[in-house]
C-alpha cells in the first residue's frame, strides 16, 4: 500500500514534468524515479495495514509547511520538518542551527538551549547573547532511526571501553540522560532513572518521541500535548506575543504519527561492491576505522516485525568519543563534554549529495565537502587512525574513500 502511494506521488511528479516539456520544449528538465534503495524516504517492506496508515499520516506531517495561522513560532528555525531534512537526509551547511549553554547550564534566561534565529512578523528573533558556548549543528538524517532505537542497551554497552582497557587509545562511553516525565515507560529510553542516549550529535536524547516532540517545539515553535507551552524569546520578555493560535497547536496523535513515520523509514541499500570498494573495506578495518564505526549491530525485540532481530549496518558504536580540539565545540551536552561526539553512522553516505544540491557536507556542522578532509579532522581518540590514514599510499586512500562512499 505504501509503495503504491509513493509510486502514485512520483507518477504525478513525472506527469507534471512531462507536461512542462510539452509546453516549453525543455527536454532536459525531466527527473526519474530513483532505483529501489536509492532514497531516504521509503518505508520498510511488508508493513501491516495499521503501520502503513500511520506511516502515510506521518509522511504528510513531516512535509507540512506551518504558517503563522497554524501556530508557527513566535520564534523558530524553520517551518517544516522536511526543510531541515531534505529527502529525509541530513541538511547542508546553509541549514545549521546553534545549540547554546553556559557550561552545563542551558542558559534558558537568554534563549538556550537552542537559538531561534527566525520569527513571525512583529516578533523579534533571538540573537546570540554574549558569554555563552555556541555549537553549530547540521540536522542529521532521520532514516534508520527505528533500527537505532531497537538496538538493545547491552549491545551498545558491549562496545564501551571507558578506561581503554585494551590499550588501543579508543575509550567510547555512553551518554546517560534523564527522560522527561511525559515520555511513557513503554517507550524505549523512557521511564524513571538514567537512560541511554541514542539521538542527537552528542547522544543527549534517549527517546525518539522526545526527539520529534522537541523538534516541533524548538525548530518550528509548534506546541503539542507533550510540550504545550510556547517557546518565547526571553531576550525580549517571556510573553509569547504574536502567536494567537490556541495551545496545544497539534495533538499528541500528530506527534505520534510523525514519530512512527521516522521509525519506519528504511535506511538506503548499500551500493554495489567493486574490487576497489572491497579492498577499501579491508583497509577501513585494518587501520582501525571500524573500532568506532562498528559495521553492524543487531536489534532486539520490537512491536514492528521489520525492526526485530535485524542486522543494522549503521557503521557506528553509538558512543561518545573525545575527538580532540579540531572538532571541539567546547559545549557540554548532558554527560558529554565539549570535545566529545557520538560516532556518526555512515550508512547512506553514497546518496548524501543527491539530496543536497549535488554537494555533500560532512561533520556535525557541515564544515567540509571533502570526505578525505573530514577524516583528517578526526583527532583525540582517532588521532592514531588519522595518522594511519595519512600514511596510506594514494591508491589505498582512494580505495578507503570509495568504500565509505559506497555505504
Give 158-208 pLDDT, tens digit per residue.
Answer: 999 999 999 999 999 999 999 999 999 999 999 999 999 999 999 999 999
Cβ contacts of 399 within 8 Å, gap of 6 or more? 276, 277, 279, 280, 283
Dump pLDDT digits (tens) for 349-380: 999 888 777 889 999 999 999 999 999 999 99
Q: How far apart are CA 323 and CA 170, in angstroms?
A: 10
pLDDT at 95 over 80: no
Calculate the average pLDDT of the chain: 89
Q: What is the pLDDT of residue 20?
A: 38
Q: What is the pLDDT of residue 29?
A: 34
Distances, alpha carbon 189 to alpha carbons 173, 229, 308, in Å: 17, 23, 17
Task: Please answer whether residues 148 and 142 qualify as being in contact, where contact means their C-beta atoms are separated by less than 8 angstroms.
Answer: no
Instruction: Supply the DSSP string of 381-393, one letter for each residue.
Output: GGHHHHHHHHTS-
Q: How far apart are CA 348 and CA 81, in angstroms?
A: 19
Domains in the chain, CATH or no CATH each: 1-33 (no CATH), 275-404 (1.10.760.10)
CA dihedral sign, ordered 320, 322, 325, 326: negative
CA dihedral sign, ordered 234, 239, 240, 241: negative
Q: What is the pLDDT of residue 90?
A: 63
Length of the chain as a residue count: 407
In the predicted model, what is the mean pLDDT of residues 34-38?
68
End-to-end CA distance of the chain: 28
- The percentage of the chain sitting over the pLDDT mark of 90, rounded to a whole number, equals 76
Q: What is the pLDDT of residue 355?
A: 76
Instruction: Supply the DSSP string of 60-76, one letter for each residue.
Output: HHHHPPP-GGGT--SEE
Q: What is the pLDDT of residue 250?
A: 98
In the predicted model, what is the mean pLDDT of residues 87-93?
64
Q: What is the pLDDT of residue 238?
A: 75
Q: How far apart are CA 156 and CA 227, in angstroms?
A: 30
Which residues on adjacent β-strands are paired with residue 196? Answer: 176
pLDDT at 83 over 60: yes
- The percentage of the chain sitting over the pLDDT mark of 70, rounded to a whole number, equals 89
The lowest-confidence range among 27-41, 164-178, 285-299, 301-315 is 27-41
Q: What is the pLDDT of residue 112?
A: 87
Q: How far apart are CA 270 and CA 369, in angstroms?
A: 21
329: confidence class by pLDDT, cuts 50, 70, 90: very high
Dump pLDDT digits (tens) for 239-280: 778 899 999 999 999 999 999 999 999 999 999 999 999 999
Distances, alpha carbon 133 to alpha carbons 107, 206, 337, 343, in Å: 9, 23, 12, 22
- The DSSP symbol for 307 reads G
337: confidence class by pLDDT, cuts 50, 70, 90: very high
Residue 318 CB coordination number (10 Å):
27
Amino acid at each position: 500500500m505504501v509503495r503504491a502511494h509513493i509510486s502514485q506521488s512520483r507518477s504525478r511528479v513525472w506527469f507534471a514534468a512531462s507536461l512542462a516539456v510539452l509546453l516549453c520544449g525543455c527536454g532536459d528538465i525531466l527527473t526519474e524515479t530513483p532505483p529501489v534503495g536509492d532514497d531516504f524516504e521509503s518505508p520498510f517492506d511488508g508493513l501491516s495495514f495499521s503501520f502503513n496508515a500511520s506511516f502515510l499520516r506521518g509522511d504528510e506531517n513531516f512535509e507540512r509547511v506551518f504558517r503563522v495561522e497554524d501556530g508557527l513560532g513566535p520564534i523558530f528555525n524553520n517551518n517544516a520538518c522536511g526543510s531541515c531534512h531534505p529527502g529525509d537526509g541530513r541538511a547542508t551547511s546553509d541549514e545549521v542551527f546553534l545549540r547554546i549553554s553556559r557550561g552545563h547550564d542551558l542558559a534558558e534566561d537568554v534563549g538556550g538551549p537552542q537559538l531561534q534565529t527566525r520569527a513571525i512578523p512583529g516578533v523579534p528573533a533571538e540573537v546570540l547573547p554574549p558569554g555563552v558556548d555556541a555549537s553549530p549543528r547540521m540536522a542529521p538524517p532521520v532514516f534508520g532511526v527505528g533500527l537505532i532505537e531497537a538496538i538493545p542497551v547491552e549491545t551498545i554497552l558491549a562496545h564501551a571501553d571507558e578506561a581503554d582497557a585494551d590499550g588501543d587509545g579508543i575509550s567510547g562511553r555512553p551518554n546517560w540522560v534523564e527522560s522527561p516525565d511525559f515520555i511513557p515507560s513503554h517507550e524505549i529510553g523512557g521511564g524513571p532513572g538514567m537512560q541511554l542516549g541514542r539521538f542527537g550529535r552528542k547522544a543527549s536524547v534517549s527517546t525518539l518521541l522526545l526527539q520529534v516532540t522537541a523538534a516541533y517545539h524548538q525548530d518550528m515553535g509548534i506546541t503539542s500535548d507533550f510540550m504545550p507551552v510556547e517557546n518565547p524569546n526571553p531576550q525580549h520578555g517571556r510573553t509569547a506575543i504574536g502567536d494567537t493560535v490556541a495551545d496545544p497547536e497539534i495533538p499528541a496523535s500528530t506527534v505520534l504519527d510523525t514519530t512512527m513515520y521516522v521509525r519506519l523509514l528504511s535506511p538506503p541499500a548499500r551500493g554495489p561492491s567493486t574490487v576497489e570498494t572491497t579492498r577499501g573495506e579491508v583497509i577501513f578495518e585494518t587501520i582501525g576505522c571500524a573500532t568506532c564505526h562498528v559495521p553492524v549491530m543487531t536489534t532486539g525485540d520490537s512491536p514492528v516485525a521489520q525492526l526485530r532481530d535485524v542486522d543494522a549496518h549503521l557503521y557506528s558504536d553509538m558512543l561518545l568519543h573525545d575527538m580532540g580540539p579540531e572538532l571541539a565545540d567546547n559545549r557540554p551536552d548532558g554527560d558529554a563534554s565539549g570535545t566529545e561526539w557520538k560516532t556518526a553512522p555512515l550508512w547512506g553516505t553514497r546518496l548524501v549529495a543527491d539530496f543536497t544540491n549535488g554537494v555533500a557536507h560532512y561533520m556535525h556542522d557541515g564544515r567540509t565537502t571533502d570526505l578525505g578532509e573530514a577524516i583528517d579532522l578526526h583527532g583525540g581518540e582517532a588521532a592514531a587512525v588519522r595518522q594511519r590514514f595519512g600514511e596510506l599510499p594514494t591508491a589505498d586512500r582512494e580505495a578507503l574513500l570509495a568504500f565509505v562512499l559506497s555505504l
